[in-house]
């Protein structure tokens, strides 16, 4: 039961849009964002946008209020709670930032359901401005993956997670995502793992075009209702397989002592 690790992307997987765009658009900074977009990496741009918001009088409270009304499909929260109740360990791997994700996850009442959030670090400084940093420092130690943006290789994060749970016995992974950044971690999945790409989104296209490179089983989904159905079905199927395997092993185990017993010398033959 507890042998499953479900790894969720955040934007357009848990919530129904991109949290970065949502904050910028809702606070009325779309034009500036579009103007600066061609000039710097996304992660640097978001940090710059936070500086702009702050110098234009937008407070952390304004950002929190916007984050708290982010659109989410009504079946996502029940799906996450059900997966957790079925014994899955849940993690988030996202190219948004920690402040946005923690604020939304807390607002949804899901803080205790995730064991780990892997994302770009961020914090509110003493002046009340949100600072956003890259997950991997691309100046001092570039990750060297040409599939991923310079600030974050989700595949590297995935490998770290795989290594961190390796000592806990055989775990099966379910990876859920929508974006092109979710392709790299999908490639890291092994046989017996499962990938849930959002249908008609970039990761789905990439997976469809590169099927021979994907070792995991592929299960597409299109909206929150679909995500819930596919995810829970998958967890049930995996749990059933695990239970059957355990049962088969127990049966095998029971026959060993019987056979061993028969070959033991008879106790009565031991001389006094």
- By beta-carbon proximity to Zn ion, the closer residue of 134 and 155 is 155
- By beta-carbon proximity to Zn ion, the closer residue of 28 and 142 is 142
Under the binding rule (CB under 5 A), the answer on residue 187 touching Zn ion is no
Find out whether 7 and 158 touch, Cβ atoms under 8 Å.
yes
Three-state DSSP class for residue 27: coil
Under the binding rule (CB under 5 A), the answer on residue 148 touching Zn ion is yes
Indicate which of Zn ion, Mg ion, none lies near residue 153 (CB less than 5 to 8 Å, by partner kind).
Zn ion
Is 20 marked as a binding-site residue? yes
> CB 151 → Zn ion: shortest distance, Å?
11
- By beta-carbon proximity to Zn ion, the closer residue of 205 and 242 is 205
Q: At what angle do helices 98-107 and 19-26 cross, to 10 degrees?
A: 90
- By beta-carbon proximity to Zn ion, the closer residue of 77 and 147 is 147
* C-alpha distances out from residue 112 to 2, 85, 162, 206, 235, Å: 16, 12, 21, 33, 20
The DSSP secondary structure of 80-107, one letter per residue, reads: HHHHHHTT-EEEEEEEEEHHHHHHHHHH
Indicate which of Zn ion, Mg ion, none lies near residue 148 (CB less than 5 to 8 Å, by partner kind).
Zn ion
Specify whether 9 is catalytic: yes
Find out whether 128 and 154 touch, Cβ atoms under 8 Å.
no
Under the binding rule (CB under 5 A), the answer on residue 147 touching Zn ion is yes
Segment 153-182, which members bind Zn ion (CB under 5 A)?
153, 155
Q: Residue 46: which of 73, 68, 18 has the closest Cα?
A: 18
Under the binding rule (CB under 5 A), the answer on residue 72 touching Zn ion is no
Specify whether 16 is catalytic: no
Tell me the catalytic residues: 9, 11
Binding site for substrate: which residues? 20, 95
């Amino acid at each position: 039961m507890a042998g499953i690790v479900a790894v969720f992307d955040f934007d357009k997987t848990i919530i129904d849009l991109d949290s970065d765009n949502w904050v910028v658009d809702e606070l009325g900074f779309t034009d500036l964002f579009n103007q600066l977009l061609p000039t710097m990496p996304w992660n640097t741009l978001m940090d710059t946008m936070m500086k702009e918001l702050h110098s234009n009088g937008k407070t952390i409270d304004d950002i929190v209020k916007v984050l708290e009304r982010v659109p989410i499909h009504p079946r996502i929260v029940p799906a996450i709670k059900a997966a957790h109740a079925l014994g899955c360990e849940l993690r988030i791997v996202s190219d948004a930032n920690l402040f946005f994700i923690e604020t939304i996850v807390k607002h949804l009442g899901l803080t205790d359901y995730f064991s780990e959030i892997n994302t770009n670090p961020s914090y509110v400084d003493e002046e009340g401005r949100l600072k956003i940093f890259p997950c991997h420092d691309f100046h001092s130690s570039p990750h060297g993956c040409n599939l991923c943006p310079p600030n974050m290789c989700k595949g590297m994060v995935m490998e770290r997670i795989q290594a961190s749970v390796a000592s806990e016995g055989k775990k099966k992974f379910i990876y859920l995502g929508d974006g092109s950044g979710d392709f790299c971690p999908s490639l890291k999945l092994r046989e017996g793992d499962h990938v849930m790409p959002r249908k008609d989104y970039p990761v789905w296209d990439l997976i469809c075009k590169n099927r021979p490179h994907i070792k995991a089983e592929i299960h597409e989904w299109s909206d929150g209702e679909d995500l819930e159905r596919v995810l829970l079905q998958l967890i049930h199927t995996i749990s059933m397989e695990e239970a059957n395997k355990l049962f088969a092993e127990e049966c095998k185990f029971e026959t060993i002592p019987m056979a061993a017993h028969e070959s033991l010398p008879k106790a009565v033959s031991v001389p006094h």
